[in-house]
């Protein structure tokens, strides 16, 4: 009987849940928002999730997941020029970036010793590699574009990016497996020498149903690093002031609290996921950066009336804006161009799959 009792006791014991650290890049809010479905699914699978984030990303994810623990590991904040060459600015910051990766890696090792993390999911944070836990690196930019002036450097950039990515155990590509996809040639991973898999469209939204009652004619969804975020906000404010329309500006500043109202223009620092889904009517024109996370959100919602404004010199957004114009008929303008007077043509619906079975399958395999 005693032996049976002992066996019964051990059989009833539950294994320790995997301790997962999720660490999104903090250049804007896009990487943080696309980690929301990952964190939701990890929690539903019984994992013990800790979020690694600072500043605005920490506030955003803290609002979404108030019950989860957060830690801070400083990352690298890129400086975007107000004028001049973005590519040259990026190149000048490479030594600082490599130094930040080394510091980030060291601090991660200390965090693993302190917290016992068994799995690390890094969204574009190159220093989050380790041999002490199982690691996955999320990116849609396997091939980083150099732009027209620096296209000749793309091969070198790819080799550097490839070396950094291959420090991880797995590469996860947030995109569909069908053709055409959402990321174009950015995500081609045939030359990466670690297991690579598509994990589907990552969106904080979970429904394709849009608001049935129209509240706003125009919504501007701002994001990204300064000073370009503020420059676009100034441009949008001026444009909206000349319209006799109901307009909303979402500043992308979750650390700010003040709201404004100027005639028919409402200005809010940030907005929760369910609130944005509730006000995005099919006939509302959305003005936004063609950031990849925004693209995945709109694919999930099936929103077709979008005008993209790429961040000047940010080659990924410039590529995606052109790609979506060619493939899906979405329109874009340069930040220094005037907003069009005529109505913007609806783009074609984007290829999103709900629920995202690829993500669920990948996470189950990763945690096993």
Most confident of 41-50, 68-77, 176-185, 213-222: 41-50
Instruction: Name which residue leads in pLDDT, 275 or 238.
Output: 238
CATH of the domain at 253: 3.40.50.2000
pLDDT for position 88:
62
The SS3 of residue 220 is strand
pLDDT for position 179:
87
Tens digit of each residue's pLDDT (9 = 90 or more) over 71-130: 999 877 666 555 555 556 666 777 888 888 999 999 999 999 999 999 999 999 999 999
Q: Does residue 221 register a pLDDT over 50?
A: yes
State the average pLDDT over residues 168-194.
94
Arithmetic mean of pLDDT over the chain: 88
Buried b / exposed e across 260-285, counting CB within 10 Å, b at 16+?
Answer: eeeebbbbbbbbebeebbebbbeebb
Instruction: Name which residue leads in pLDDT, 82 or 254.
Output: 254
The SS3 of residue 211 is coil
The SS3 of residue 323 is helix
User: Are 194 and 127 in the same domain?
Assistant: yes
* Cβ 228 vs Cβ 80: under 8 Å: yes
From 92-96, 140-144, 165-169, the region with the lowest mean pLDDT: 92-96
pLDDT for position 349:
66
Percentage of the chain beyond pLDDT 90 is 60
Most confident of 223-227, 265-269, 294-298, 342-346: 265-269
Residue 154 lies in a domain: yes
State the average pLDDT over residues 315-332.
93
- With cut-offs at 50, 70 and 90, classify the pLDDT of residue 183: very high
DSSP state of 93: T
Residue 2 backbone class (left: φ over 0; alpha: ψ -120 to 50; beta: rest): alpha
pLDDT for position 312:
86
Task: Identify which of 184, 144, 138, 115 has the alpha carbon closest to the alpha carbon of residue 36.
Answer: 138
Instruction: Name which residue leads in pLDDT, 216 or 152.
Output: 216
Residue 344 lies in a domain: no
User: Are 78 and 53 in the same domain?
Assistant: yes
Task: Check whether the bond before 355 is cis (ω within 30° of 0).
Answer: yes
For the chain, how many structural domains are there in total?
2
Task: Identify which of 282, 270, 288, 305 has the alpha carbon closest to the alpha carbon of residue 214.
Answer: 282
Q: Give me the DSSP letters along 269-320.
A: S---HHHHHHH--TTSEEEE---HHHHHHHHHHT---EEE-PPTT-HHHHHH
State the average pLDDT over residues 346-352.
69
The SS3 of residue 171 is strand
- With cut-offs at 50, 70 and 90, classify the pLDDT of residue 10: very low
User: Are 195 and 241 in the same domain?
Assistant: no
pLDDT for position 9:
46
Residue 54 lies in a domain: yes
Residue 183 lies in a domain: yes
User: Are 251 and 278 in the same domain?
Assistant: yes
User: Are 325 and 236 in the same domain?
Assistant: yes
User: Are 304 and 192 in the same domain?
Assistant: no
pLDDT for position 324:
93
Residue 30 lies in a domain: yes
Instruction: Name which residue leads in pLDDT, 322 or 151.
Output: 322
Residue 68 lies in a domain: yes
Task: Check whether the bond before 175 is cis (ω within 30° of 0).
Answer: no
Can you give the three-state secondary structure of 98-145, one letter per residue? HHHHHHHHHHHHHHHHHHCCCEEEEECCCCCCCCCCEEEEECCCCCCC
Q: Using the Cα atoms of residue 147, residue 148, residue 151 and residue 153 in order, give the sign of their dihedral.
A: negative
User: Are 161 and 71 in the same domain?
Assistant: yes
User: Are 86 and 175 in the same domain?
Assistant: yes
pLDDT for position 184:
94
User: Are 41 and 178 in the same domain?
Assistant: yes
User: Are 53 and 119 in the same domain?
Assistant: yes
pLDDT for position 87:
57
State the average pLDDT over residues 18-40.
93
Q: Does residue 325 register a pLDDT over 90?
A: yes
Residue 135 lies in a domain: yes
Q: Write down the residue that tokens 């370009």 correspond to.
A: 228
Q: Which domain holds residue 191?
A: 19-202+354-367
pLDDT for position 339:
92
User: Are 37 and 165 in the same domain?
Assistant: yes
> For residue 310, what are the β-bridge partners?
none
Residue 338 lies in a domain: no
- Alpha-carbon distance of 157 to 278, in angstroms, equals 41
User: Are 179 and 236 in the same domain?
Assistant: no
């Amino acid at each position: 009987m005693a032996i049976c009792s002992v066996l019964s006791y051990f059989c009833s014991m539950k294994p320790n849940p995997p301790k997962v650290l999720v660490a999104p890049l903090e250049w804007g809010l896009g990487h943080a928002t696309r980690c929301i479905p990952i964190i939701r699914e990890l929690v539903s699978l019984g994992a013990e999730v800790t979020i690694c984030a600072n500043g605005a990303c920490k506030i955003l994810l803290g609002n979404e997941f108030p019950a989860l623990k957060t830690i801070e590991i400083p990352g690298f904040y890129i400086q975007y020029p107000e004028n001049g060459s973005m590519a040259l600015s990026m190149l000048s910051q490479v030594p600082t970036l490599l130094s930040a990766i080394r510091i980030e890696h060291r601090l991660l090792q200390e965090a693993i010793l302190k917290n016992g993390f068994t799995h690390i999911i890094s969204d574009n944070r190159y220093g989050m590699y380790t041999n002490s836990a199982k690691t996955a690196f999320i990116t849609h930019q396997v091939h980083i574009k150099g732009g027209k002036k620096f296209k000749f450097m793309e091969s070198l950039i790819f080799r550097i990016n490839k070396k950094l990515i291959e420090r991880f155990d797995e590469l996860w590509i947030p995109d569909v497996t069908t053709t055409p996809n959402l990321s174009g040639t950015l995500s081609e991973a045939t030359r990466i020498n670690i297991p690579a898999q598509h994990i589907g469209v990552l969106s904080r939204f979970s429904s394709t149903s849009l608001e049935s009652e129209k509240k706003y004619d125009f919504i501007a969804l701002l994001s990204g690093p300064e000073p370009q975020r503020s420059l676009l906000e100034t441009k949008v404010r001026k444009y909206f002031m000349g319209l006799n329309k109901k307009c909303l500006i979402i500043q992308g500043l979750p650390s700010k609290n003040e709201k404004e109202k100027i005639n028919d223009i409402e200005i809010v620092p940030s907005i929760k996921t369910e609130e944005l889904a509730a006000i995005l009517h099919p006939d509302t024109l959305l003005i936004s950066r063609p950031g990849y996370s925004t693209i995945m959100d709109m694919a999930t919602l099936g929103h077709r009336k979008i005008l993209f404004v790429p961040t000047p010199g940010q080659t990924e957004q410039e590529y995606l804006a052109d790609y979506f114009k060619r493939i899906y008929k979405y329109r874009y303008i340069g930040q220094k161009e005037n907003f069009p007077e005529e109505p913007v043509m609806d783009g074609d619906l984007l290829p999103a799959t709900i629920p995202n079975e690829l993500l669920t399958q990948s996470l189950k395999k990763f945690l096993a």
